[in-house]
Structure 1
Amino acid sequence: MPDFALISSGAFHIPPLTSTFATTPSPWHMWLQVPDQRSFQSNSPNIALTADGSCWRIPQASGHLGIGFKIPVIITHLSIEHPPSQSMDAPRDIVLWGFIEQADNLQRYAFVDQDMDDQPPQEVIEESRKQNPTGSFIKLAHVEYSPFHNLHVQTFSVSENVLRSGFDFGLVVVEIRGNWGGDETCLYRVRVHGKDIHTGV
């Protein structure tokens, strides 16, 4: 399956929607700039969007990473990778949020069952409203990654409601709500799979 969250495929992390301990918020209009080598500074969230085997180190159990795509994507799956030799700092409780902002998506959104009590982190909601007051986050998947599984790359489907809706997304937020008991969490690689709305592939 193609990985739309890969830097080399045009994806980029979104500073205003990423945990503040890891990056400095930047203007919304900077999102679409192609990242240069300065983006790959020590412990940059970009690390989680590459295939070099390094980890984005979150200095606590929880955190979140905003990811923008080169083109809108119909999302079908999320994959999380973590080395099998480490377990305590592996992410455990993970939620994938998609940001709905196109008019046709917003019309269909009203007909999708959502748990309105479960929302992304408050700072994510506030930052998104500054740039697009009419947009809204929808939960695409709520999963548990296990470092004790025999596969170190684990793939999860988005919810059936979302798949049936046909929503496309220009950005997502990966929320880590907890790990396996470590003082910090290592996010080695996040993959977002789906279909290009222009090509259907």
Structure 2
Amino acid sequence: MAVNRALREVLTEQDFALAIDGAKVVSTLTPDHISPDNSAKLALRDNLHGGKCWKLRGVQGQIGIRLSNSIHPTSVTIDHLPREVTHDIDQAPRRMTLWGVVDGPTNHGRYAELGTHASVEKDAPPVGAGLTFAALSRFEYNIDSPRIIQTFPIHDRIIQSGITFSVFVLEVETNWGGNITCIYRVRLHGVE
């Protein structure tokens, strides 16, 4: 019963990263954004069809996402296919970090008040020189979970800071052992 309620909440919570609602891939923050048939835009669409994922070369990569509005983020959701349907569950992303680009004097001031965050070993994703990033969440997608749609909270200190973000980077650090990584859908939740 609680699982069904939690699933309904995720499905009804607004997804600010939907392309149909104006979210866009930031090509300068998405190194594998290479061809129309393997477009990172697939991760911003509302579909979970086998093989219709954005394929990263190897186990690591990142996608930059620009929202149509700034939000106070509260969570990030990753969708993947169920183990029973996919022939390569090892291509599912595993460890990930969600980053937010800090922009504007108010947000920079709030970010400076936060200091450093000990749970993240670095200051930025691999691609993003010249920008200031805040680590919003570090999490692991669990392929053994009965839930294929998994939601992860934004760090409390980020929520409490009041910083707003309009550009995000989802960094995939590892997958479950495949030679490529499939990103089916990324959802970003929060308050405008």
How high is the TM-score relative to the length of structure 2? 0.85
- Cα drift, residue 136 of structure 1: 1.1
Among 5, 20, 32, the alignment partner of 1:8 is 20
Give the AA of the match of 1:58. Answer: L
Pairs within 5 Å for 1:154-173:
154-173=150-169
Pairs within 5 Å for 1:82-93:
82-85=80-83, 86=86, 87-93=89-95
Q: How many residues align?
A: 171
Indicate how the Cα distance of structure 1 residues 12 and 117 shifts in structure 2: closer, same or farther if over 3 A, else same. same
Structure 2: how far apart are the matches of 1:88 and 1:123? 25
**Aligned residue number for residue 8 of structure 2:** none
Unpaired segments of 5 or more residues in structure 2?
1-12
8 Å CA contact 1:114–1:138 kept in 2: the answer is no
Unpaired segments of 5 or more residues in structure 1?
25-40, 130-134, 197-201
Say if 2:87 is the partner of 1:70: no
8 Å CA contact 2:125–2:169 kept in 1: the answer is no
8 Å CA contact 2:63–2:171 kept in 1: the answer is yes
**Aligned residue number for residue 4 of structure 2:** none
**Aligned residue number for residue 43 of structure 1:** 38
- Please give the root-mean-square deviation of Cα atoms over the aligned residues, in Å: 1.4
8 Å CA contact 2:124–2:132 kept in 1: the answer is no
Structure 2: how far apart are the matches of 1:120 and 1:180? 23
Give the AA of the match of 1:45. Answer: A
Say if 2:187 is the partner of 1:194: no
Give the AA of the match of 1:110. Answer: A
**Secondary structure, in 3 states, of the residue corresponding to 1:52?**
coil
Give the AA of the match of 2:169. Answer: V
**Secondary structure, in 3 states, of the residue corresponding to 2:17?**
coil
8 Å CA contact 2:99–2:125 kept in 1: the answer is no
**Aligned residue number for residue 5 of structure 2:** none
**Aligned residue number for residue 132 of structure 1:** none
Give the AA of the match of 1:188. Answer: Y
Say if 2:124 is the partner of 1:120: yes
Give the AA of the match of 2:112. Answer: A
Indicate how the Cα distance of structure 1 residues 122 and 189 shifts in structure 2: closer, same or farther if over 3 A, else same. closer
- Cα drift, residue 97 of structure 1: 0.2
Aligned structure 1 segments of 4 or more residues deviating by more than 3 angstroms = none
Identity, in percent, stands at 33
Structure 2: how far apart are the matches of 1:162 and 1:61? 28
Among 130, 135, 141, the alignment partner of 1:145 is 141
8 Å CA contact 1:120–1:175 kept in 2: the answer is no
- Cα drift, residue 117 of structure 1: 4.2
